[in-house]
Amino acid sequence: MGGILTSLNTSYTGLQAHQVMVDTTSNNISNASDEFYSRKRVIAQPEKPLVMHQGLIMGRGVDVQAIRRIHDDFVFDRYTKAGSETAFFQNSFDTLREISAHFPDVDGVGIFNDLSTYFNAWKDLSKNPKDAAQKQVLAEATQVLTRNIRDTRLKLVNIQRQASENLETLVKEANRLGGQIAQLNQKIGEMEDAKQYKQANELRDRRDEYEYHLIEIIGGKVFKGHLKTDSQTSPKTADFDENYVMNVAQGFNIVDGYTFHPLTLEKENNAEHLNRVYYRTYDFKDVDITDKMNEGKAGSLINLYNTGYNGTKVGHIQRYIDLLDTFAQGFMEATNAIYAQSAAHSLVGAEVSFERNQALKDSGYNFKNGSFDLIAYNTNGQIVASRRIYIDNVTTMHDIVRQINANTDDNNDNNDTNDFDDFFHAQFDPVVKKFVVEANRPADGFYVGIKDNGTNFTGAMGINKFLQGDSAKDIHLHRDYEKDPTYIRPWLTPINGNFDVANMMQQLQYDKVDFYNKRTKINSTMKISEFYQYASGRVATDTEEAQRTLDTKKSVYEATKKEHLSITQVSIDEEMVDLIKFQGGYAANAKVITTIDRMIETLLGIKQ
C-alpha cells in the first residue's frame, strides 16, 4: 500500500532517472565533434503503478528502460554507398588527370609536335638528298620522336604499377577493418540483450565507423537481420540488428558474424606482375575476385590498372598503353613499308614468331591479301628485272620463297638469264625465322627493292627497317643510322638526284595508314596524326567523363551525408536545452525528497 515511504521512493526514481539523463546529455556534448557518434536518448517510462485497496491506482515513479542511440540504418546504408562511389570516381579522376598530363595538346610540346618536326625533316632532306647534315637532323628528329613515345609509354606503365602497389596498402587496411568488425560483432553479441533493452551503443558507433571506411575502400553491401524501429526515440530510427553479414565482390562474405575472411594478393602469376585479389574461403582456398571488385578505392585502382590478364577486363591505363602501342606499330609499319622500297644490296626481315608452313593470315601479323613487287636494279639504278608475288588466305612463307625463287620469264623475252631469280634468291630460316633476299653474285653490286601493293608484307616482316622495335615500348631509329646517319637512303633507285623515298615519307603524313592490334581488336584506317589525336583524345574524354560523374556523385554524397548527420549528429543547442530541462527535473525531485524528509520529521515529532 502507499505511504510516505512510497512517495520517497517515487521521488528517488525521478532523481536517478534525471541523473542518467544528465549523464547521457553530457556524453552527447562531449562527443559532439565525432562524425560517427550517434546521439543518445534515455528511454524512460512510468513504473508499474500501485493499486490501493480503495481501488485507486497510484504511480510509483519512473523506470529507465534503456539508453538508445538515434540512428537510421537505411540512411546510413545510402551514406556508405555514396561514400564508396565518391571514393571510386575521385581516385579515378585523380589518376586520369595525371595521365592526361602526359598527352599535352599544346604547340611545341608532345608527340604531336614531334611528328610534325619529323616529317619536316624528311621534306628538307628531299630538297637536298646528299646533304649529310640534313640526314643528321632527320636522325635527331626521329630519335626525339621515338624517345618521347617510349617515355610516354613508360610513364603509363609506372602509373599502372603504382596503382597496383597502392592496392596492397588498401587491402591491408581492409583486412584490418574487417577483422575489427568481426571482433566488435562478437563483443556486441556478448553485451546486448534485446529483451532487456541492453544495447552496446558505443560499440555500434565504432562498428559503423569501420564499416563506412571498409566500404569506402572495397565497396560491398551489409546485410543485417531483425532491424527494429523505435518511435519512442525518434520516427527516424532503425537499429538493433542481428546476424551481421558484409558482402563484397558481388557475393563473397568477407564478414559473417564473428568470422572474418581475409583478402589476399598475388602478382607473380601474371607476366606484368600486377596484383590480383583473392578471397580466402573456409577451407583456405583462394578464389580470384579481381574482376568483381568494382567499387570503392580498390575497385577504382583495378579498373585503372587491370591488363586483361587471362581474358579478364582491360583497365583504362592498359587501353591507353594498347593505343600507344598500336600507334607506334602502325607508324613503324607504314614508315618501313616505304623505306623498304629504297634499293639496297639485300632485303633482311625481322625475326618473327610463326612457322614457315603457317598461313600468313593466321599468324597474328597484319598481312593482307594482294601482291608486292620485287625489283632488281643495276649499279646505274636501272631496272633489270622485277617479279610480282601474291598473297591470299592460305599463302605461307614457304610459298613466298618458292614464288621468288621460281624459274619464270619475268621479262617475257624467252631469256632465262635475265629474270629476277637470276640476280637474287630468297630464304626463310626455320630456326631464326628471318626472311632474307640476297644477291646471287654480291660482287656484281646489284640492288633490290620491294614495293608493296597493299599486303603490308614489308611492314609485317620488318624488311630493311628505318624504325626498329615491336611497340611503343622499344620503338627506335635503326642502330646503323643512329651510329652514322649518312647511311640513310632517301632514294628509290641508287642514282644521283633520286629522292623519291624522302618524298613518299613526307607524303605519309597525309596518307591513311592501317592501325591494327589483334589482342585489343583495334583495326582502323586513318592518318598517323589523326590516330594519335584519337588516342590522346580518348584520355581527355575519359578524364572529363570521370570529372562530370565525380561532381554528380559528390552532390549525392553531400545530400546523403547531410541526411545522415541530421538524424545522428549531436546538436549542442538541443543538448543544452535538454540539460537545463533535466537539471530542473533533478532539482525538483530533490526538492520533493527534502519535503518528504521534513514530513517524516514532523511525523516523528508528533509520535514523540
Query: Tens digits of per-residue pLDDT, 515-573?
Result: 887 666 677 889 999 999 999 899 999 999 999 999 999 999 999 999 999 999 999 99
* DSSP strand pairing (347-348 vs 263-266): unpaired
Distance CA 528, CA 531 (A): 5
Distance CA 297, CA 90 (A): 8
Q: Is the dihedral of CA 105, 110, 111, 112 positive or negative?
A: positive
Single out the residue of 460, 427, 429 nearest to residue 361, CA to CA: 460
Task: Write down the pLDDT at residue 12.
Answer: 87
Indicate whether 216 pLDDT > 90: yes
b (16+ CB within 10 A) / e for 169-191: ebbebbbebbebbbebbeebeee
Whether residue 336 contacts residue 464, with contact meaning beta carbons closer than 8 Å, is answered with yes
Q: What is the DSSP string of 400-447?
A: HHHHHH----TTSSS-TTSSHHHHEEEEE-TTT--EEEEESSGGG--E
Which of residues 494 and 162 earns the better pLDDT score? 162
pLDDT in tens, 574-583: 999 999 999 9
- Give the chain's end-to-end CA distance (angstroms, integer): 25
pLDDT in tens, 163-201: 999 999 999 999 999 999 999 988 988 887 766 567 788
Which residue bears the cell 628538307? 124
Which of residues 600 and 207 earns the better pLDDT score? 207
Task: Write down the pLDDT at residue 56.
Answer: 77
Task: Write down the pLDDT at residue 105.
Answer: 67
pLDDT in tens, 436-454: 999 999 999 999 999 989 8
Angle 166-172-177 from CA coordinates, rounded to 5°: 125
Q: What is the mean pLDDT of residues 399-404?
A: 95
- When pLDDT is cut at 50, 70 and 90, the band that residue 150 belongs to is very high
Residue 481 has phi, psi (to 5 degrees) of -80, -25
Q: What is the mean pLDDT of residues 306-328?
A: 88
pLDDT in tens, 45-73: 888 887 776 767 777 889 888 888 888 88
b (16+ CB within 10 A) / e for 21-34: bbebbebbbebeee
Sequence-separated (6 or more) residues with CB below 8 Å from residue 112: 105, 529, 532, 533, 536
Task: Write down the pLDDT at residue 238.
Answer: 47
pLDDT in tens, 232-263: 555 555 455 567 889 999 889 999 989 999 99
Distance CA 580, CA 25 (A): 10
Indicate whether 368 pLDDT > 80: yes
**Alpha helix (H) residue ranges in 277-407:** 296-305, 316-339, 397-405
Task: Write down the pLDDT at residue 268.
Answer: 82
Task: Write down the pLDDT at residue 605.
Answer: 84
- When pLDDT is cut at 50, 70 and 90, the band that residue 312 belongs to is confident
- When pLDDT is cut at 50, 70 and 90, the band that residue 482 belongs to is very high
Name the DSSP class of 107. T
For the chain, what percentages of helix, strand and coil (3-state, to nearest 5) are there?
A: 50, 20, 30
Q: What is the mean pLDDT of residues 120-125?
A: 94
For residue 377, count other CB atoms closer than 10 A to its CB.
Answer: 23
Distance CA 500, CA 488 (A): 13
Q: Pick the range with the lowest mean pLDDT from 82-91, 145-154, 358-367.
A: 358-367
Q: Which three cell numbers stand for residue 3?
A: 505511504
pLDDT above 70: percentage of residues in the chain: 94
**Average pLDDT, whole number, for the chain?**
89
Distance CA 182, CA 506 (A): 68
Indicate whether 318 pLDDT > 60: yes
Task: Write down the pLDDT at residue 574.
Answer: 92
Q: Which residues pair with 193 in a beta bridge?
A: 198
Whether residue 553 contacts residue 86, with contact meaning beta carbons closer than 8 Å, is answered with yes
- When pLDDT is cut at 50, 70 and 90, the band that residue 120 belongs to is very high
Indicate whether 231 pLDDT > 60: no
Sequence-separated (6 or more) residues with CB below 8 Å from residue 209: 36
Q: What is the mean pLDDT of residues 480-492?
A: 92
- E strand or H helix at 535: helix 528-568
